[in-house]
Homo-oligomer: A and B are copies of this chain.
């Protein structure tokens, strides 16, 4: 545990953010039957500097052989173990609206060791139903189920006006990491991990730039 601890501690966030790219690339190469991969080849495909590739992959504990490169299978296993992609974490999602429903049962998360095992809402019409096999509970059941299933990671896809309150409740119920898909700046205590995926903010930036561009062209 301690060795793993030390390894995790020192990873820069940009390296962590690139790991899914490496993982995806190496996995595809394995499927294609490749045995070895060089850092420059990985770099060219992912448009990264090969020195960066070598530095990033060194965190997984695997080194490439000179002139041969990385053993594909060994590297894939090392990335998965290092990032915990091969141990499934159970996650709860609050807000079984349109976007929440899209995320529940989305098979893309499985590869990264994440499984949404329950959804929560306060709409009586949704409670008791299932989304692609995942049950929807009343939010009142969150605390007990989280404790029972040892869930520490919660996703928020509620309407924005409920996001802060849901986050406060989740934290009081033992959640340590929150993934926020609402456009709200959720405030959390310092020890809580929070990541925002600002779909609407990104969309607003695109639309604004596009309208700007089109208005110039039409002047």
A residues with a Cβ closer than 8 A to B are 1-2, 4-5, 8-9, 11, 13, 16-21, 24-25, 28, 46-48, 83-84, 89, 98-99, 102-103, 106-109, 112-114, 152-153, 160-161, 176-177, 179, 183-185, 187, 193, 195-216, 218-219
Contact = CB atoms under 8 A, between A and B. Distances in A.
Given A20-B204, A161-B28, A204-B19, A193 B209 contact: yes
Contacts of A16: 201, 204-205, 208
A218 B1 contact: yes
27 contacts: A1-B215, A1-B218, A8-B208, A8-B211, A11-B208, A16-B205, A19-B208, A20-B200, A20-B201, A20-B203, A21-B184, A24-B161, A25-B161, A47-B185, A83-B208, A99-B102, A99-B106, A102-B103, A108-B199, A113-B207, A153-B206, A177-B206, A177-B209, A177-B213, A193-B206, A193-B210, A195-B202
A83 to B, nearest CB: 6
B28 A212 contact: no
- Which one of A13, A107, A203 has the greatest number of beta carbons of chain B within 10 Å? A203
B89 A207 contact: yes
This chain: copies in complex: 2
A13 B6 CA distance: 38
Contact of A112 (B1, B46, B83, B207): B207
Contacts of A207: 83-84, 89, 112-114, 153
Contacts of A9: 212
Given A46-B184, A204-B16, A212-B8, A108 B98 contact: yes
A174 to B, nearest CB: 12
Contacts of A199: 108, 197
B25 A219 contact: no
Contact of A47 (B89, B106, B187, B202): B187
